[in-house]
Amino acid sequence: MFATRFAPSPTGYLHRGHAYSALTAFAAAQDAGGRFVLRIEDIDATRCRPEFEVGIHEDLAWLGLSWEQPVRRQSEHRDDYQAALARLEAEGLLYRCFRTRKEVAEAMVSAPHGAMEVFRGAALPPDEEARRLAAGGPFAWRLSLDAASRTLGGFGGLTFTEEGEGVVSARPELGGDVVLARKDVGVAYHLAVTVDDALQGITHVIRGRDLFEATHVQRLLQALLGLPEPIYRHHALLTGPDGKRYAKRDHAETLRSLRERGMSAAELRKELGFE
């Protein structure tokens, strides 16, 4: 059965960009007579706040959306992420990375044909690693692209389906050896999203174009963990009158502020192209 989701992080109040994304996913679920799931991506307790989570529910209800209960909150499912991590580790696909942020930045290399620099590394020699562990040095778990490539016999056969574009070659090398478990919170975005999309039976991942690159890594994790492959639809990002995309960091006007100024949900839906 068709199932899609809206997966915000409660690190701020929602703005028009979120409303557009949520409405897009919700409309797709309705058109397909499928499921619409809200997921709260709150693994980073230092950045998430309860009032933002309450705000997400209020804003989406105001917009006229309804979603399945219970709502999955990532902070309550650490065991699921640990299980996936343990499996990848048992298969020799991960290594501990003790480097500081600065050391990682200094070791970045250009990805093949990629615009961005990425990190590629390897486990420390066993005695050095044992010494670091004994000293209590904090570490992140990173996915080894070299090991992943060996397991899959290269990434040549790895693809995903982007609606409207067809079959796309997945190029996880563009992301480097991504962190799957952060030093501070014990899990990381790509792992939690991939595990949750599978556990929640998501058949269609509908989200903004800003997350297109993330798909390369998430597709690789699906292949390594033997998880089903959803279809992707990355919608164009909504831009404001200045031509810039709405973003929390630019203090885009929040939905609650629009509401306080007297805008109705019907007006906003119309502005965003959902009548």
Report, as residue numbers or ranges, the catalytic residues. 248
Please tell me the chain's helix, strand, coil percentages from 3-state DSSP, rounded to the nearest 5: 45, 20, 40
Region of 4-12, 108-116, 254-262, 267-275 interacting with ligand GLU (CB under 6 A) = 4-12
**In this complex, which beta carbon is closest to ligand GLU, that of residue 8 or of residue 176?**
8
Long-range contacts of 65-70 (CB under 8 A, 24+ apart): 65/22, 65/23, 65/26, 65/36, 66/36, 67/6, 67/36, 67/37, 67/38, 68/35, 68/36, 68/37, 68/38
Instruction: Please identify which residue in the block is written with the tokens 């056969």.
Output: 157
**What are the residues whose beta carbons fall under 8 Å from the beta carbon of 12, sequence distance 6 or more?**
52, 248, 254
* Interface with ligand GLU (CB under 6 A), residue from 9, 24, 194, 254: 9
**In this complex, which beta carbon is closest to ligand GLU, that of residue 124 or of residue 238?**
238
In contact, 28 and 49? CB cutoff 8 Å: no
* Least distance in angstroms from the C-beta of 193 to ligand GLU: 5
* Least distance in angstroms from the C-beta of 172 to ligand GLU: 16
**In this complex, which beta carbon is closest to ligand GLU, that of residue 123 or of residue 211?**
211
Backbone angles phi, psi at 34, to 5 degrees: -110, -165
* Least distance in angstroms from the C-beta of 211 to ligand GLU: 5
Examine residue 215 and tell whether it contacts ligand GLU (CB under 6 A): no
| Residues 41-60 as x/- pattern, contact with ligand GLU by CB under 6 A | x-------------------
Q: What is the CA 154 to chain-centroid distance, rounded?
A: 24
Residues 192-211 that bind ligand GLU (CB under 6 A): 193, 207, 211
Please report, as ranges, the residues that interact with ligand GLU according to CB under 6 A. 7-9, 41, 193, 207, 211
